[in-house]
């Protein structure tokens, strides 16, 4: 009979906790949110032996159990809530071999909760190079626990960790420090009032502003009396607790840890002098961005062309092999082109996540955060605002959620409002198809024109975010003050397994989440394009044949399909919108794509793929179809003016219902998402209008 074990994985940021999680679980993991909270929850499954399966939760990084953010509150809530299905049978605290003193503070706090706690000392491969030696048996004795010395890079020590997890019941749950030594009278009274409760758990309930909704309320509700102590007194006791813990840690490390400073190199300081230099730091960051955008276009062109032609052939093959009818048409003209419009961008999205993951893994992203903080303050943003703005290049939703780390409400609100200007990966399919259509092949001083255009769109989005932040900082009447602190992790070579899992998970999530929307909208659009009211739609073939009697064969069929589409339900919707968008250089078909892409920006390409597939029976790729679209005067619909106008519209418009929903959740009001929706849409319209009128 198989057994299941709940394991909580904890640690400070940048200790390699995620690397340990990835090594244990591989691809057997999923990402979601804690119920009712916009905090990311990573779970995985690991087979410890033939009969024991481990359910591992990778908790948000935290420096201690003294919560100062929502992420840290989630950690405390789980560790104190025995009623939770995820309450750990054993806690694993991951530490970095170079920062043991700081990392062990969290370990002592978790162990004092009475939870069986293992210690993982990670990055063991760095010990020799850094001149570090640890007496593991003595450290185990002093901490009264078991230790796994691990190198996730070299895949060492993980079998030892699995064995220790199987034998977790042998771990001591004795506390590391005596809380009574902080204030004897206070804690004696606390024990008398709650004789059956764990002392350190009570102390956390009293001192932490956390929503302990499911903790044994009938047992600890009367702790209110202990909160009547003056706030300064409680703070002083917390400070005493921290001092006691560090005295305990220092005493142990003096006996068990040796660091030969002469063996350590100063490579990190030399790199930092260059990478966060006031001038060269920005130049290097700009060059890195340029390389990324050039690579996204150059490397992905071959697989994209293959995917494009495969879906076109698949659609044609379905039409020729299946019997004629509604289902065949739906499959060939609705579902396949719609899905093809998303799958084609998997290479570009995968490359984007690949580069972002590498920058994070190497430790460079923290340098970017520090570097950009110097300039962001003049725009009214906290340095921590850089994290959402940069992560917004992947997706605005987790980027908005990442603002939780900004303690100051005004700066957090401004960051939430301007983050959607940052070019997310959902815009990438729109940019990619339009750039390929209207920006010519060629290069300038070795730089590809199309890559330069993509770089420009990213920069213009970031620039608008800064300008909007500056305006909001001057207009929002919220008085506040804050400070910026960021940790600089050590430089390290990216762990290929971590990078691979990140790319796989993010790309899979993008495709599956977008795929659900695309599939639903593709079916809806096909129905709206295949049916219509009145005589014009029902008798389209007769009307066109009579009006254009000179047309024969394929030309006549194309004209009939176009006439029928124009008088379908979707055609009527597009025609209604056309007068509003004509000054921007768009026609009614683009209008339909604009409306449908409010569900998700990437739907734009899938929508046009569906519309053009319904209109034409020819075996053509979506790019070829768009390239041959003409206006009533015979000029190309997608030219330089209309293409750039459309790209700028998408750069500034708030076309993402999911982002609006998450902004509502984070701000607890519909006021701010509505300001975003109408403000960004009006701005997008004005800029797109001005651009088209100047270039046309």
Q: For 125, phi and psi rounded to 5 degrees?
A: -65, -15
Nearest one of 453, 533, 500 to 26, comparing CA atoms? 500
Provide the pairing of β-strand 29-33 with 40-47.
antiparallel
Whether 659 has a pLDDT exceeding 50, the answer reads yes
Q: Residue 181's CB: how many other CB atoms inside 10 A?
A: 11
Whether 244 has a pLDDT exceeding 70, the answer reads yes
For the chain, state the CA radius of gyration: 30
pLDDT at residue 229, rounded to an integer: 52
- Alpha-carbon span 163 to 153, nearest angstrom: 20
Domain ranges of the chain: 1-264
Q: What are the beta bridge partners of residue 184?
A: none
Nearest one of 210, 251, 234, 182 to 65, comparing CA atoms? 210
pLDDT at residue 217, rounded to an integer: 36
Question: Among the listed ranges 74-78, 382-386, 416-420, 434-438, which one has the minimum average pLDDT value?
Answer: 382-386
Band (391; pLDDT cuts 50, 70, 90): low
pLDDT, one tens digit per residue, over 509-523 is 667 765 666 667 677
Band (485; pLDDT cuts 50, 70, 90): low
Q: What are the beta bridge partners of residue 41?
A: 32
- Alpha-carbon span 195 to 139, nearest angstrom: 32
- Alpha-carbon span 543 to 26, nearest angstrom: 61
Band (230; pLDDT cuts 50, 70, 90): low
Task: Specify whether the CB–CB gap between 89 and 99 falls below 8 A.
Answer: no
494: CB partners within 8 A, 6+ apart: 357, 358, 361, 362
Q: What is the mean pLDDT of residues 91-115?
A: 91
- Alpha-carbon span 60 to 58, nearest angstrom: 7
- Alpha-carbon span 352 to 333, nearest angstrom: 30
Q: What own/partner pairs with CB < 8 Å and gap ≥ 24 does 450-454 have?
A: 450/297, 451/290, 451/293, 451/294, 451/296, 451/297, 451/298, 453/647, 454/293, 454/296, 454/297
pLDDT at residue 621, rounded to an integer: 62
Helix/strand/coil percent split, the chain, to 5: 65, 10, 25
Q: For 583, phi and psi rounded to 5 degrees?
A: -60, -15
- Alpha-carbon span 488 to 367, nearest angstrom: 7
- Write out the two tokens for 629: 């679209």
- Write out the two tokens for 532: 């219509």
487: CB partners within 8 A, 6+ apart: 13, 14, 366
Provide the pairing of β-strand 40-47 with 52-58.
antiparallel
Whether 680 has a pLDDT exceeding 90, the answer reads yes
Task: For residue 44, give the H/E element and its range.
Answer: strand 40-47
- Write out the two tokens for 315: 């659609």
Tell me what the pLDDT averaged over the chain comes to. 79
155-167 burial, b at 16+ Cβ within 10 Å, e below that, comes to eebbeebbebbbe
- The sign one gets for the Cα dihedral 189, 190, 196, 199 is negative
Whether 200 has a pLDDT exceeding 60, the answer reads yes
In whole angstroms, how far apart are CA 138 and each of 143, 173, 231?
9, 18, 39
pLDDT at residue 227, rounded to an integer: 52
- Alpha-carbon span 630 to 558, nearest angstrom: 14
Whether 138 has a pLDDT exceeding 90, the answer reads yes
Question: Rounded to an integer, what is the distance from CA 608 to the centroid of its chain?
Answer: 27
Q: What is the mean pLDDT of residues 412-432?
A: 85
Band (250; pLDDT cuts 50, 70, 90): very high
| 171: alpha, beta or left? (left if phi > 0; alpha if psi -120 to 50) | beta
Q: Please name the fold of domain 1-264.
A: Rossmann fold (3.40.50)
- Alpha-carbon span 291 to 119, nearest angstrom: 41
Q: Sheet holding 29-33: strands in order across?
A: 29-33, 40-47, 52-58, 3-11, 90-96, 117-122, 147-149
pLDDT, one tens digit per residue, over 582-635 is 899 888 888 888 877 776 676 777 667 666 655 555 445 666 777 777 777 777
Q: Where is pLDDT greater, at 479 or 555?
A: 555
pLDDT, one tens digit per residue, over 149-187 is 998 888 888 899 999 999 989 999 898 988 888 888 888
Angle value at C-alpha 570, between 565 and 575, nearest 5 degrees: 85
pLDDT at residue 34, rounded to an integer: 41
- Alpha-carbon span 87 to 91, nearest angstrom: 10
- Alpha-carbon span 350 to 296, nearest angstrom: 9
Whether 687 has a pLDDT exceeding 90, the answer reads yes
Whether 486 has a pLDDT exceeding 70, the answer reads no
Ordered alpha helix ranges (H), 419-552: 428-438, 449-475, 496-530, 534-538, 540-547
Whether 269 has a pLDDT exceeding 80, the answer reads no
Q: Residue 588's CB: how many other CB atoms inside 10 A?
A: 21
Q: Where is pLDDT greater, at 669 or 657?
A: 669
Q: Where is pLDDT greater, at 305 or 119?
A: 119
Task: Specify whether the CB–CB gap between 78 and 57 falls below 8 A.
Answer: yes
Predicted model pTM: 0.62
Nearest one of 56, 46, 52 to 1, comparing CA atoms? 52
- Alpha-carbon span 391 to 134, nearest angstrom: 37
- Alpha-carbon span 370 to 242, nearest angstrom: 28
- Alpha-carbon span 223 to 205, nearest angstrom: 8
| 446: alpha, beta or left? (left if phi > 0; alpha if psi -120 to 50) | left
pLDDT at residue 33, rounded to an integer: 44
Whether 37 has a pLDDT exceeding 60, the answer reads no
Q: What is the mean pLDDT of residues 247-254?
A: 92
Task: Specify whether the CB–CB gap between 514 and 657 falls below 8 A.
Answer: no
Q: What is the mean pLDDT of residues 117-133?
A: 85
Task: Specify whether the CB–CB gap between 23 and 55 falls below 8 A.
Answer: no
pLDDT at residue 214, rounded to an integer: 41
Whether 658 has a pLDDT exceeding 60, the answer reads yes
Nearest one of 386, 426, 422 to 402, comparing CA atoms? 386
pLDDT at residue 661, rounded to an integer: 72
395: CB partners within 8 A, 6+ apart: 424, 425, 426, 510
- Alpha-carbon span 514 to 411, nearest angstrom: 31
């Amino acid at each position: 009979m198989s057994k299941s074990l709940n394991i909580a994985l904890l640690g400070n940021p940048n200790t390699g906790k995620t690397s340990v999680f990835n090594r244990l679980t591989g691809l057997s993991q999923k990402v979601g949110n804690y119920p009712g909270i916009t905090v990311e929850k990573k779970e995985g499954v690991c087979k410890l032996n033939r009969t024991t399966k481990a359910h591992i939760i990778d908790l948000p990084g935290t420096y201690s159990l003294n919560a100062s953010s929502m992420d840290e509150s989630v950690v405390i809530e789980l560790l104190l809530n025995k009623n939770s299905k995820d309450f750990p049978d054993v806690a694993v605290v991951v530490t970095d071999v170079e920062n043991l003193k700081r990392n062990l503070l969290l370990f002592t706090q978790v162990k004092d909760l009475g939870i069986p706690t293992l210690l993982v000392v990670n990055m063991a491969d760095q010990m020799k190079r850094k001149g570090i030696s640890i007496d593991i048996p003595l450290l185990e004795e002093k901490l009264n626990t078991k230790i796994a010395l691990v190198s996730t890079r070299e895949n060492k020590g993980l079998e030892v960790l699995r064995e220790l997890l199987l034998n977790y019941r042998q771990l001591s749950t004795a506390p590391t420090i005596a809380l009574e030594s902080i204030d004897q009278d206070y804690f004696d009274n606390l024990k008398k009032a709650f004789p059956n409760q764990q002392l350190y758990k009570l102390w956390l309930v009293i001192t932490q502003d956390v929503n302990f909704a499911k903790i044994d309320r009938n047992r600890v509700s009367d702790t209110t009396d202990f909160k009547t102590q003056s706030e300064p007194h409680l703070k002083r006791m917390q400070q005493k607790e921290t001092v006691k813990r560090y005295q305990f840690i220092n005493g142990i490390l003096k006996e068990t840890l040796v660091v030969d400073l002469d063996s350590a190199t100063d490579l990190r300081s030399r790199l930092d002098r260059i990478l966060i230099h006031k001038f060269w730091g920005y130049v290097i960051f700009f060059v890195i961005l340029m390389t990324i955008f050039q690579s996204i276009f150059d490397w992905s062109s071959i697989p994209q062309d293959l995917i494009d032609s495969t879906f076109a052939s698949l659609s044609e093959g379905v039409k020729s092999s299946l019997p004629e009818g509604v289902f065949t048409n739906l499959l060939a003209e609705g579902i396949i082109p719609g899905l093809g419009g998303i799958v084609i961008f998997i290479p570009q999205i995968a490359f984007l996540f690949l580069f972002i993951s590498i920058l994070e893994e190497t430790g460079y992203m923290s340098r970017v955060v520090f570097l950009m903080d110097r300039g962001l303050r003049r725009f009214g943003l906290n340095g921590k605002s850089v994290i959402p703005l940069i992560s917004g290049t992947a997706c605005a939703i987790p980027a908005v959620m990442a603002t939780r780390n900004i303690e100051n409400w005004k700066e957090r609100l401004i960051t939430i409002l301007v983050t959607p200007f940052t070019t997310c990966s959902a815009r990438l399919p729109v940019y990619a198809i339009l750039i390929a259509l209207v920006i010519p092949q060629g290069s300038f001083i070795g730089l590809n024109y199309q890559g330069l255009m993509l770089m420009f769109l990213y920069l213009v989005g970031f620039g608008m975010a800064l300008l909007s932040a500056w305006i909001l900082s001057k207009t929002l009447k919220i008085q506040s003050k804050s400070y910026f602190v960021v940790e600089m992790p050590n430089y390290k070579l990216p762990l290929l397994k971590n990078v691979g899992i990140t790319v796989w998970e993010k790309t899979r999530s993008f495709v599956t989440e977008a795929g659900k929307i695309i599939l639903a909208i593709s079916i809806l659009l096909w129905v709206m394009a295949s049916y219509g009211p009145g005589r014009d739609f029902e008798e389209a073939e007769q009307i066109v044949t009579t009006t254009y009697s000179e047309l024969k064969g394929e030309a006549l069929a194309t004209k009939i399909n176009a006439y029928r589409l124009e008088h379908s339900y979707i055609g009527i919707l597009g025609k209604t919108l056309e007068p509003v968008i004509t000054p921007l250089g768009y026609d009614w078909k683009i209008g339909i794509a604009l409306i449908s892409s409010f569900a998700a920006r990437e739907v734009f390409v899938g929508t046009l793929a569906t519309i053009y597939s319904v209109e034409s029976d020819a075996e053509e790729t979506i790019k070829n179809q768009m390239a041959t679209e003409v206006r009533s005067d015979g000029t190309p619909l997608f030219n330089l003016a209309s293409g750039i106008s459309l790209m700028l519209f998408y750069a500034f418009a708030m076309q993402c219902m999911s982002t609006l929903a998450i902004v509502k959740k984070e701000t607890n009001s519909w006021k701010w998402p509505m300001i975003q929706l109408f403000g960004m849409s009006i701005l997008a319209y004005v800029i797109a209008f001005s651009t088209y009128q100047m270039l046309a």
